């Protein structure tokens, strides 16, 4: 039974309090909080993410309008734009990075049985990055080009449920392939990557760790065919070869044989060439795994559209990373809520309902029983225009 708790308070109950305080104490977050603790900061920033607040003044105005209820929501400090700005500057962003890892550990088992588009039982990850553009005059520490600033969000996504398992926020100049050095491959798992991650020295680490990869190759890679396999008709697979590297530096870094699969995608009329170290799975399954890589692109598109990570409340590096990590933490909280309450609504629909019911004193599940949810329209060409001219 709901004992008069607001929807916002019910959502925050899914946050493990003990682990939260461990993350805060690990980096001394509340050592000198001056009346505005890390919990106050997190609640304010999570509220801003859920309701799409435009600025610190916007956050302050909205929360102060609900001042009599803030204590029951978990706030203990006085919310103002200056104290929130100081907290974003002073509280270490690693607090929220560690908190996100805690929530990832909770969310991943909940989505372990989600389908990935094939009968493969192994864990499948997709690796990619997205660039967040910034103004160079406001964010000089994030210089990307001569007149442009940017940060990159490198993500390793578990394709079962689209839960990020590894995230790194870097400056825009960092090449994607360097992030592979921070990943410890899991034995028996599959890692699907675009050709930006083609580095044979780093790919050989997957072989040594008994993990599998599927990566697009580049035109200049020198390969020699050793064996050919029969190609099943009507699958789009054009060839399936065992190859070796012929360039001395590449062959030295990667002495084993590889598997090269040429595939023609009928839907896009594109010809793709994949390299993998898995010689057991049928070639159509390998091509199908690579097609699932687009889920990480959809993940980036989703968080950019529905969370506040393209416009920032502060200009320092710590403030930017704090906002991004709290946005990811909010995403994970909503994903956990969806599974624990067995909600049929999509994550986007849950966010939409939460944004207008945060201060209502009603059980969350009742808020979703009032509405019959329709499937989301993913293709914008199927949407109606505003004016039929």
- Is 162 among the domain residues? no
Q: Are residues 319 and 272 in the same domain?
A: no
- Whether residue 110 lies inside any domain: the answer is no
**Domain that includes residue 62, residue range:** 7-96+312-370
Query: Residue range 161-170: average pLDDT?
Result: 92
Q: Residue with structure tokens 């990159």? A: 152
Are residues 92 and 28 located together in one domain of the fold? yes
Residues 200 and 279 in one domain: yes
Mean pLDDT for 361-380 is 65
Q: Looking at the structure, tell me whether residues 27 and 86 fall in a common domain.
A: yes
| Same domain flag for 35 and 83 | yes
Query: Is residue 334 within 8 Å of 354, Cβ to Cβ?
Result: yes
Average pLDDT rounded to a whole number, residues 365-376: 65
Quick check: 380 pLDDT over 80? no
Of the candidates 317, 43, 303, 310, which has an alpha carbon nearest to the alpha carbon of residue 169? 317
Residue 177 belongs to a domain: no
* Separation in Å, CA 7 to CA 49, 70, 98, 299, 383: 15, 13, 25, 25, 32
Asked whether residue 341 falls in the same domain as residue 283, the answer is no
Number of structural domains, the chain? 2
- Please report whether residue 299 resides in a domain: no
Token pair recorded at residue 59:
């956050």
User: 329 and 284 in one domain?
Assistant: no
List Cα–Cα distances, 56 to 34, 99, 137, in angstroms: 19, 23, 20
Q: Per the domain annotation, does 305 fall within a domain?
A: no
Selected residue with higher pLDDT from 35 and 111: 111
Nearest to 199 by CA among 214, 182, 180, 186: 180
Write the pLDDT tens digit of every residue in 58-95: 999 998 888 888 888 888 878 889 999 999 999 999 99
* Angle of helix 347-357 versus helix 38-51 axis, rounded to 10: 110
Mean pLDDT on 359-382: 65
137 in a structural domain? no
- Considering the domain boundaries, does residue 358 fall inside one? yes
Cα gap 389→382, rounded to integer Å: 17
**pTM given for the model:** 0.88
Alpha-carbon span 238 to 230, nearest angstrom: 10
78 in the same domain as 19? yes
Among 47-56, 71-80, 103-112, 318-327, the minimum mean pLDDT is found in 71-80
Q: What is the pLDDT of residues 283-315, one digit of tens each?
A: 999 999 999 898 999 999 989 988 989 889 999
Q: What percent of the chain has pLDDT over 70?
A: 94
State whether 269 and 324 are in the same domain: no
Which spans in 144-273 are helix H? 200-208, 248-253
- Of residues 254, 314, 276, 351, the one with CA closest to residue 88: 314
Question: Which domain CATH number covers 199?
Answer: 3.30.1370
- Distance, CA of 56 to CA of 44 (rounded, Å): 10
Residue 167 has pLDDT above 80, yes or no: yes
DSSP notation for 313-343: S--SHHHHHHHHHHHHHHHHHHHHHHHHTT-
Domain check: are 17 and 90 in the same one?
yes
- Check whether 195 has a pLDDT greater than 80: yes
Please, is 270 exposed, middle or buried when counting C-beta atoms within 10 Å of its C-beta (0-12, 13-18, 19+)?
Answer: exposed
Q: Establish if 34 belongs to a structural domain.
A: yes
Do 208 and 189 contact (CB within 8 A), yes or no? no
Q: Both 274 and 356 in a single domain?
A: no
Determine if residue 342 is left, alpha or beta; phi over 0 gives left, psi from -120 to 50 gives alpha, anything else beta. left
Q: What is the rounded end-to-end Cα distance, in angstroms, of the chain?
A: 52
Determine the average pLDDT of the residues in 241-250: 95
Q: Which residue has the higher pLDDT, 354 or 68?
A: 354
For the record, the structure tokens of 162 come out as 């689209």
Looking at the structure, do residues 25 and 85 belong to the same domain, yes or no? yes
């Amino acid at each position: 039974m709901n004992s008069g708790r607001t929807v916002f308070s019910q959502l925050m109950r899914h946050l493990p309090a003990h682990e939260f305080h461990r993350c805060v104490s690990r980096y001394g977050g509340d050592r000198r909080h001056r009346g505005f603790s890390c919990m106050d900061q997190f609640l304010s920033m999570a509220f801003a993410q859920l309701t799409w607040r435009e600025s610190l003044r916007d956050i302050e105005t909205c929360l102060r309008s609900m001042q009599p209820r803030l204590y029951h929501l978990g706030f203990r400090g006085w919310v103002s734009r200056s104290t929130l700005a100081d907290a974003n500057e002073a509280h270490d962003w690693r607090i929220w990075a560690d908190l996100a890892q805690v929530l990832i550990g909770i969310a991943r088992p909940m989505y372990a049985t989600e389908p990935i588009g094939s009968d493969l039982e192994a864990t499948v990850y997709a690796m990619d990055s997205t660039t967040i553009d910034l103004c160079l005059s406001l964010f000089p520490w994030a210089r990307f080009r001569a007149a442009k600033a940017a940060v990159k969000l490198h993500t390793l996504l578990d394709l079962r449920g689209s839960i990020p398992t590894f995230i790194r926020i870097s400056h825009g100049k960092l090449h994607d392939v360097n992030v592979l050095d921070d990943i410890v491959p899991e034995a028996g798992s599959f890692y699907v990557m675009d050709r930006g991650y083609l580095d044979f020295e780093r790919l050989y680490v997957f072989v040594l760790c008994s993990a599998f990869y599927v990566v697009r190759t580049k035109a200049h890679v020198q390969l020699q065919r050793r064996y050919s396999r029969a190609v099943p008709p009507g699958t789009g697979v054009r060839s399936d070869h065992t190859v070796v590297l012929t360039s001395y530096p590449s062959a030295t870094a990667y002495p084993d044989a590889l598997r090269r699969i040429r595939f023609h995608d009928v839907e896009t009329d594109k010809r793709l060439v994949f390299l993998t170290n898995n010689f057991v799975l049928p070639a159509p399954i390998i091509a199908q795994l690579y097609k699932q890589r687009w889920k990480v692109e959809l993940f980036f598109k989703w968080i950019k559209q529905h969370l506040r990570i393209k416009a920032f409340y502060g200009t320092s590096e710590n403030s930017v990373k704090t906002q991004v990590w709290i946005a990811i933490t909010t995403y994970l909280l909503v994903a956990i809520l969806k599974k624990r309450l067995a909600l049929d609504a999509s994550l986007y629909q849950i966010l939409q309902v939460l944004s207008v019911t945060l201060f209502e004193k009603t059980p969350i599940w009742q808020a979703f029983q009032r509405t019959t949810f329709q499937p989301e329209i993913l293709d914008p060409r199927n949407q109606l225009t505003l004016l039929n001219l």
